[in-house]
Chain A
């Protein structure tokens, strides 16, 4: 009988170790994405959004005409081979203006949602994690912002400070922050009580690490949902403010100020209001549908039902 030279590991444990090969990192399939893909409505919305995004990015190259060039001979014309969606009373091509308008709308929407999600998310997580007076103070401030109707608030600020793209984005961001912060706080309060947070603290993790590594990834789902839904709100608020004349100023076309300009001619040339309005409607619905689909995809109960 040959005796083993030495016994290195506990025999209890050895039996369970079969594979000693060290694996390479594999690409992880996201269960959420898989669930999202199965939602036809959400996918349709996503396709529309991707299409609109591509149009906005490629706007300078795909616009058939200069959106600012006035063609006096072709004023307020209907649909034609030259002008697919017709022209406005100054002879500008409506299609080109709708395309360029999407750039402004998406840009304003995207930046203000990005700002409000980052700021609001951080505020909410810090309030939930630290608790106590900081939580009370932060939440009362955010609630008082929430009480002011955003449109009125935007109108006042933009009239007082004058309209500019930057002010517009700041106003919309401020309006969206409380919603994000409350949602982030609610989700973070739940995550905070899990034991892996205690484990991280007992390993010596500081506040920043706990919030960024352990709380943030676990509230990503709800954050993603609310930022998608906020995209549609931000675009609508931008359009409303531009419609009221305090948002993006002419001649830069946005859907809001195009509707406002066309409003006077709504009976004679309905296309002026119809096309930018339709674009607004479609993008709003698309963002909402995608937001709902993301929420469903992150919801474990709904996922189980589908399987």
Chain B
């Protein structure tokens, strides 16, 4: 994968993306409060790499992913793909854009229409976007099934006849149908058994090699992220707190939140376990409705100073490609 980095062609450039959800107003008018689900997120994804976004539930990682496809309409910001801002695209351009970028969902039980056969599910991308004949579509569907390692005799079965892993394979096949460049994997393995997880991850890896795909991999599972990523962004309360290559994040974490996250990963070897220091965080994530004024991590930070509560930190270059947002770096 490193060889591809030399080229460093930027596929998608996210600038200052925000998504604010308005609070439900009262009968007499709209409430002015907003929930800042994603608050000024910027990153670039390079061609051929796996870019992971990690963070605990509710930190805005899925919202960020869905915003790139405009499955959720972001409040402001820019998503630049091939020199065009995706958020300002018209319907025709969107249709074109969506062929280039696809999504694999978390829940394999909700991501396939229970009333459609596998053939119908996999035919849909072609029916919408191409003018292929039925026979040609069937050929394409069969190729897709083989590509993700499924038997062709499943063609006329319904989703409920499959296991979670098989359903996720079908979901992957659907995402691959239009030959996209970028696939957003929204926690693609977190609903699966551990044994199935590695199958799906290996499938994703081999597909990436074969089809030269780029992944944005959204997950809360650090061991999975370590396994698959080239670069990693850590999100907390709607903001990226640290971003860097896999080695930088996992071996030289800078932000106290990243350190705490990494120390929470279970270690199989008890001797090693004694050597690692577990960082315990106090309290809960503050409500995104009412985030801390200064550093978002202030309320839980083990190394905070009083001054941290005054101003919000910005991402600072720690080393080449490695940025973290903490006043103490």
Contact = CB atoms under 8 A, between A and B. Distances in A.
Contacts of A201: 71
Contacts of B203: 12-13
B115 A218 contact: yes
Contacts of B116: 213, 217
A20 B129 CA distance: 27
A28 interface: yes
Contacts of B110: 194-196
Given A12-B203, A202-B102, A203-B174, A26 B152 contact: no
| Most central of A12, A18, A199 by chain B CB within 10 Å | A199
Given A10-B210, A12-B206, A196-B113, A204 B128 contact: yes
A21 B155 CA distance: 11
Place the interface of chain A in its size category.
20 to 34
A214 interface: yes
A17 B113 contact: no
A25 interface: yes
A28 B120 CA distance: 14
B128 A209 contact: yes
B152 A16 contact: no
B95 interface: yes
A198 interface: yes
Contacts of A278: none
A9 B146 contact: yes
A202 B111 contact: no
Interface string B137-153: 01000100011111111
Contacts of A214: 113
Contact of B111 (A13, A195, A204, A218): A195
A203 B152 contact: no
A204 B156 CA distance: 24
B114 interface: yes
B128 to A, nearest CB: 5
Nearest to B69: A202
A47 B111 CA distance: 39
B178 interface: yes
Nearest to A193: B110
A205 interface: yes
Contacts of A17: 146, 149-151
A22 interface: yes
Given A194-B110, A199-B111, A204 B98 contact: yes
B149 A12 contact: yes
B213 interface: no
Contacts of A200: 113, 124
B151 A19 contact: yes
A256 B156 CA distance: 49
Given A23-B156, A200-B124, A218 B114 contact: yes
A196 B156 CA distance: 18
B221 interface: no
Interface in B48-67: 66
Contact of B129 (A9, A204, A213): A204
Contacts of B128: 203-205, 209
A198 B113 contact: no
Given A199-B111, A218-B115, A23 B152 contact: yes
Interface of B: 66, 69, 71, 94-95, 98-99, 102-103, 105-107, 110-116, 124-125, 128-129, 138, 142, 146-153, 155-156, 158, 171, 174, 177-178, 202-203, 206, 210
14 contacts: A9-B146, A10-B210, A18-B151, A26-B156, A196-B111, A199-B105, A202-B71, A203-B178, A204-B129, A205-B128, A213-B113, A214-B113, A217-B113, A218-B113
Interface of A: 9-10, 12-13, 16-23, 25-26, 28, 194-196, 198-205, 209, 213-214, 217-218, 220
The 4 A-B pairs of least Cβ separation, nearest first, read A13-B149, A217-B115, A195-B111, A195-B105
